[in-house]
């Protein structure tokens, strides 16, 4: 299995191109199941999760065409891919395909809405908590679906072949459940309201794509979505929003190592809460045309307390990376995780660098140390893995991050982007 080797201590200086967001690309790809016409997605990142979802969609009968280069394209630009689901040949999403990626469960919404039935394996994904699917199933039941669980599969059926608009209120904000119920409601008969909908930019990106496909959705960007069902949706061309988690990750990396990095394509409004926190740690954050500039010269890293929250709060997907930064702060910070109950798996690995972190329930108390030392480490989920890379960039000596397939799921050309800015980082095959 590939590993990443880092020799820490170099500042990051230069420019990093921010890719399209994984967590926007995945639901957008799934939305192609809602129409028999081509859905063209622009700025799709090159990631293992995108490849895996392509396999799942192909199994349902979706034709996928990756476009070649266009004049003016740069090497760092995203992919342009056309997804055409003219005929859905199979409404089963099998365990072998779904088990490695939770988002693939989301096909249940479009399949049920368009075909009237679906059989989808219960999901797998990152080991960050139990992550049930009750909100999804309750939401789909509200839309009239009959649902059974059998041998690890969810069997869903819309009586009469079509879902019916209804009022759905989620007990807690859920990104995935909002994606699924919103997609399902676009083809339901009548009007659906979703209360306590997720506000995450990836949900807005999907809603805007659905509207471009002919869906009738109002309240986009608010916690109350109103969806008037239509008989059919059309094709569209739609752009994947820049990745706010990748942006935050590189911003924290630059803060950690010192130096000055321009994050091209970054959109500050997608991660304002994280940038506000970064400023409080003593980093200069400037919005410029075409991106965001991050600069820390010489001064130390101030400790800041953080609590994760749904958007627009501090994202749980940046919690591990921020903890790596706080491990080098000049004081004590408290990091509270409120979204997932088991998302501190990186703590034990950060400790291998000499970080001083104490976990009590949902709160980690991080006492900054003057120096981290390189180590052999291994991560259990995507964001945890990249927090170890951040620690390694600042640690003295050599770090080897093992089991990096998680990184390939969500960070496009990570070592390439960092080494161009002066990091000593390489992939070791095998």
Angle at Cα 177 formed by Cα 162 and Cα 244, nearest 5°? 130
The answer to whether 336 is annotated as binding is: no
Q: Considering the complex, what minimum distance in angstroms separates the CB of residue 381 from ligand EPZ?
A: 7
Given 28, 126, 156, 183, which residue is catalytic? 126
Does 51 sit near ligand EPZ (CB under 6 A)?
A: no
Closer to ligand EPZ at the Cβ: 340 or 353? Answer: 340
Cβ-contact 243, 20 below 8 angstroms:
yes
Question: Around Cβ 51, how many Cβ atoms within 10 Å?
Answer: 11
Q: Binding to ligand EPZ by residue 131, rule CB under 6 A?
A: yes
Q: How far is CA 257 from the centre of its chain?
A: 24
Respond yes or no: is residue 126 known to be catalytic. yes
Helix (H) or strand (E) holding 332: strand 332-336
DSSP for 86-99 reads SS----EE-HHHHT
Min separation Cβ 162 and ligand EPZ, Å: 23
Nearer to ligand EPZ, 26 or 355 (CB): 26
Q: Starting at the earlier edge strand, list the strands of the sheet with 259-264.
A: 12-17, 259-264, 291-296, 284-288
Single out the segment in contact with ligand EPZ by CB under 6 A; choices: 1-9, 56-64, 67-75, 132-140: 132-140
134 touching ligand EPZ, by CB under 6 A: yes
Find out whether 291 and 298 touch, Cβ atoms under 8 Å: no
- Rounded CA separation 38/183 (Å): 17
Q: Provide the 8-state DSSP code for 106.
A: G
Of 410, 409, 377, nearest in space to 392 by CA = 377
Q: Residues 282-321: x/- map of binding to ligand EPZ (CB under 6 A)?
A: ----------------------------------xx----
> Is there binding between residue 159 and ligand EPZ (CB under 6 A)?
no
Active-site positions read 126
Residues that bind ligand EPZ (CB under 6 A): 23, 26, 102-103, 126, 129, 131-136, 172, 174-177, 202, 316-317, 339-340, 382-383, 410
Q: Which residues are annotated as a binding site for UDP-N-acetyl-alpha-D-glucosamine?
A: 102, 172-175, 317, 339
Question: Would you list which residues are annotated within the binding site for phosphoenolpyruvate?
Answer: 22-23
* Annotation: binding site: 22-23, 102, 172-175, 317, 339
């Amino acid at each position: 299995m590939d590993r990443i080797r880092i020799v820490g201590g170099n500042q990051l200086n230069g420019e990093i191109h921010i890719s399209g967001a994984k967590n926007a690309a995945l639901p957008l790809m799934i939305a192609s199941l809602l129409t028999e016409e081509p859905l063209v997605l622009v700025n799709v990142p090159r990631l293992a999760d995108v490849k895996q979802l392509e396999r799942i969609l192909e199994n349902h009968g979706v034709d996928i065409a990756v476009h070649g280069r266009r004049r003016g394209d740069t090497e760092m630009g995203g992919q342009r891919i056309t997804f055409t689901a003219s005929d859905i040949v199979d409404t089963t999403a099998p365990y072998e395909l779904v088990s490695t990626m939770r988002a693939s469960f989301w096909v249940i919404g479009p399949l049920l809405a368009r075909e009237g039935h679906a059989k989808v394996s219960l999901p797998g994904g990152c080991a960050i908590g139990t992550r049930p699917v009750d909100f999804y199933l309750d939401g789909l039941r509200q839309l009239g679906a009959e649902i059974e669980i059998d041998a690890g599969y969810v069997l869903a059926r819309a009586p009469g072949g079509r879902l019916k608009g209804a009022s759905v209120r989620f007990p807690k904000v859920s990104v995935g459940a909002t994606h699924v119920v919103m997609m399902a409601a676009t083809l339901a008969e009548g009007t659906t309201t979703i209360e306590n909908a997720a506000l995450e930019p990836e949900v807005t990106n999907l809603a805007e794509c659905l509207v471009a496909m002919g869906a009738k959705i109002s309240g986009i960007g608010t916690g109350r979505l109103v969806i008037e069902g239509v008989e059919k949706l059309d094709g569209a061309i739609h752009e994947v929003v820049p990745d706010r988690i990748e942006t935050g990750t590189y911003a924290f990396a630059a803060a950690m190592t010192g130096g000055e990095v321009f994050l091209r394509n970054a959109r500050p409004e997608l991660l304002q809460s994280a940038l506000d926190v970064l400023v409080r740690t003593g980093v200069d954050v400037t919005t410029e045309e075409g991106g965001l500039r991050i600069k820390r010269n010489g001064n130390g890293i101030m400790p800041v307390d953080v609590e994760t929250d749904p958007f627009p709060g501090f994202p749980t997907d940046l919690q591990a990376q921020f903890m790596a930064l706080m491990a080098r702060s000049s004081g004590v910070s408290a990091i509270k995780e409120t979204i997932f109950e088991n998302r501190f798996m990186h703590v034990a690995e950060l400790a291998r660098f000499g970080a001083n972190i104490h976990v009590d329930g949902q709160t980690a108390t991080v006492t900054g140390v003057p120096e981290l030392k390189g180590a052999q480490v291994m991560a259990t989920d995507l964001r945890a893995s990249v927090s170890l890379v951040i620690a390694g960039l600042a640690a003295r000596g050599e770090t080897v991050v093992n089991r990096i397939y998680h990184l390939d799921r969500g960070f496009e050309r990570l070592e390439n982007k960092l080494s161009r800015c002066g990091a000593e980082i390489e992939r070791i095959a095998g």
